Amino acid sequence: MSRLTCLRGGLVVDPTQSGGPTVRDLFFRDGRIVTPAPGEPADEVIDCAGRTVMAGGVDLHSHIGGGKVNLARMLLPELQRDGANPLRCTPHESDPCSLVTPGTLATGLRYAQMGYTAAFEPAMLPANARHAHLEMGDTPILDHGAYVMLGSDELLLRWMHAGVPFEQIRDYVGWTIHASKALGVKVVNPGGISAFKFNQRKLDVDEAHVHWGVTPRQIVHTLARALRELQVPHPLHIHGSNLGVAGNIASTLETIAALEGLPAHLTHVQFHAYGTEGPKKFSSAALQLAEAVNANPHISIDVGQIIFGHTVTASGDTMRQHANAGLANPRKWIGADIECDAGCGVVPFRYREQSFVNALQWVIGLELFLQVKDPWRVVLTTDHPNGGPFTSYPHLIRLLMDRSFRLEQLARLHPEVAANCALKDMTRELTLEEIAIMTRAGPARLLGLADRGHLRPGAAADIAVYRQDGDAEQQFTDPPLVFKDGLLVARAGQIVAQPVGATHIVEPVYDTSIDKRIRAEAQAHGGTPPQPISHDELCSCCRGGRILPVECLAAEEGA
């Protein structure tokens, strides 16, 4: 059954096509955007006059699987209300629930309600990859995928310490992507999670790991180079050193320098853009970081905006989560480790408007959004749930598009922050097109998803149709129509279908003989010999969802 559907007369906002937003018809058939033959009648015409039509949203950094979120759910039963109504509560109700870590069902439905059709888990431990894929496979509607964590794993550090040839490490990275069925690689506090286990409580970019002798600078460069040589489209996804520490802007700038021009994505940079100025020795370094991003076209970022209210922070960064545990609200936390791959820390937290630090964090995030010039290299995230739940995206979009609303919110914050920040004088209001870049076209491109994030013929018919009346927050909360691969999944906030999403992976070419060496190492050091996930297994643990490998970069680009 091949039905041609026409979305008639909407304002099509697709930043990948020249000419800007245009009122026109958009056609799709068999789950793909198409150009019909001249005069070909549509089987179904949907009137979209007075509506905005965009590709489905793509969240490139959202903790929706992978173990930590489950631990967070177990730690905080009092903040779960999924059973009552997974879709009702919003982060702005005084209600503490805020959907801080919604279950898999609510996650898929709530994203789809907002017009998002894909979300990517940024911190999958190799040893926990099966669980991560099961959890994402249990999340309806959304396409998904994950970045596998490397950089504090024993094998990498041991090999770097021993000075093995770079090619051996590159093949290990390729093997890890293959074995865990990842879309990319994330490094978290490079080397620091391991150093924590050797009683180091901080590890700056040029500080050596006390046991393995390697530095975060070496780890970042090695992994970034490996991904470049493996021609993986999404470059190294970096959660840098010293997350949350006053003055960490120096580490962040050093991390950019460590890349020596290699491409990389710096994640949740709001947490990495702090100075030490002012009476409280805690200040915004957003302008410095934005300048560095503007000057380095090989760097992309996502922001990790904080949103006031209750949430839970869940991170692989055991070192920093241990340091933050005293701030837990309510007062309980989890620290964990599996197979010496990396770590895990879960700390519940409440961001308060009247807290100087929290108010400044809010300001820094927005300053970053407004100061980085190229929207293709800034992705809209709250690092769900760390800065706040993804359900607050419509609110965040309004903050970026509407200066008077932004100033209204700013006036409610800690008075010292409100009076002195650079944000209060920033007049930029993001356009609908810039929002479309930061929430779909940009992240899709950064991940190498060639047929997502845009509406050109051949693209997947992942489409969100928004209202034009009301403020931006209202518009982006419950679009009248959301299609996933051409199937209507949400209508004005009501879920009408729950298809199974696809898994996006990357399959780099590497020397497979590395497998033997990895097994031998695991056996020699008392680990569990790793068992790669096969396509069949991935498919069954993701409920039969399609597996969609992204195309690797061309050789000349990757060289």
**5 - beta bridge partners?**
28, 44
Residue among 205, 210, 208, 215 at smallest CA distance from 247: 205
**Runs of H (alpha helix) within 128-204:** 129-137, 154-162, 166-180, 192-197
- Kindly state whether residue 302 participates in binding Zn ion, applying the rule CB under 5 A: no
Smallest gap from residue 322 Cβ to Zn ion (A)? 15
- Kindly state whether residue 73 participates in binding Zn ion, applying the rule CB under 5 A: no
> CA-CA-CA-CA torsion for 434, 108, 90, 316, nearest 10 degrees?
-80
- Kindly state whether residue 320 participates in binding Zn ion, applying the rule CB under 5 A: no
DSSP string, 397-423: HHHHH-HHHHHHHHTTS-HHHHHH-GG
Smallest gap from residue 325 Cβ to Zn ion (A)? 17
Question: Looking at beta carbons only, is 275 or 345 nearer to Zn ion?
Answer: 345
DSSP string, 331-362: S--EEE-STTT--EEEEEEEE-TT-HHHHHHH
Tokens of 97: 């629930």
Site string for Zn ion, 120-139 (x = CB under 5 A): --x-----------------
Question: Looking at beta carbons only, is 122 or 486 nearer to Zn ion?
Answer: 122
- Kindly state whether residue 341 participates in binding Zn ion, applying the rule CB under 5 A: no
Smallest gap from residue 125 Cβ to Zn ion (A)? 13
Smallest gap from residue 244 Cβ to Zn ion (A)? 11
Return all residues near 91 (Cβ < 8 A) that are at least 6 apart: 98, 99, 307, 309, 388, 389, 391, 392, 395
- Kindly state whether residue 153 participates in binding Zn ion, applying the rule CB under 5 A: no
CA distance 148 to 184: 6
Site string for Zn ion, 352-391 (x = CB under 5 A): -------------------------------x--------
Smallest gap from residue 269 Cβ to Zn ion (A)? 11
Question: Looking at beta carbons only, is 27 or 196 nearer to Zn ion?
Answer: 196
Question: Looking at beta carbons only, is 188 or 463 nearer to Zn ion?
Answer: 188
Q: Are 530 and 522 in contact (CB under 8 A)?
A: yes
Question: Looking at beta carbons only, is 15 or 365 nearer to Zn ion?
Answer: 365
Smallest gap from residue 267 Cβ to Zn ion (A)? 6
Question: Looking at beta carbons only, is 122 or 191 nearer to Zn ion?
Answer: 122
- Kindly state whether residue 68 participates in binding Zn ion, applying the rule CB under 5 A: no
Stretch that binds Zn ion, among 119-127, 172-180, 367-375, 450-458 (CB under 5 A): 119-127
Return all residues near 233 (Cβ < 8 A) that are at least 6 apart: 447, 448, 506, 550, 551, 552, 553
Smallest gap from residue 63 Cβ to Zn ion (A)? 6
Tokens of 451: 């047929």
Smallest gap from residue 302 Cβ to Zn ion (A)? 9
DSSP label of 303:
-
Question: Looking at beta carbons only, is 189 or 477 nearer to Zn ion?
Answer: 189
Smallest gap from residue 101 Cβ to Zn ion (A)? 13
- Kindly state whether residue 228 participates in binding Zn ion, applying the rule CB under 5 A: no
Distances (CA, A) of 213 to 415, 427, 547: 45, 47, 40
Query: In the bound complex, which residue of the shown chain has the CB atom lying closest to Zn ion?
Result: 239
C-alpha torsion sign, points 68, 72, 74, 75: positive
Smallest gap from residue 336 Cβ to Zn ion (A)? 16
Residue among 258, 276, 269 at smallest CA distance from 293: 269
CA distance 430 to 435: 7
Smallest gap from residue 342 Cβ to Zn ion (A)? 11
Question: Looking at beta carbons only, is 239 or 454 nearer to Zn ion?
Answer: 239
Question: Looking at beta carbons only, is 69 or 400 nearer to Zn ion?
Answer: 69
- Return the ∠ at Cα 368 (arms to 224 and 354), rounded to 5°: 125
Task: Count the residues of the shown chain that bind Zn ion, applying the rule CB under 5 A.
Answer: 3
Question: Looking at beta carbons only, is 52 or 194 nearer to Zn ion?
Answer: 194
Site string for Zn ion, 1-20 (x = CB under 5 A): --------------------
Question: Looking at beta carbons only, is 109 or 269 nearer to Zn ion?
Answer: 269
Residue among 388, 379, 315 at smallest CA distance from 102: 388
Return all residues near 226 (Cβ < 8 A) that are at least 6 apart: 166, 169, 170, 173, 174
Site string for Zn ion, 235-254 (x = CB under 5 A): ----x---------------
Interface residues with Zn ion (CB under 5 A) are: 122, 239, 383
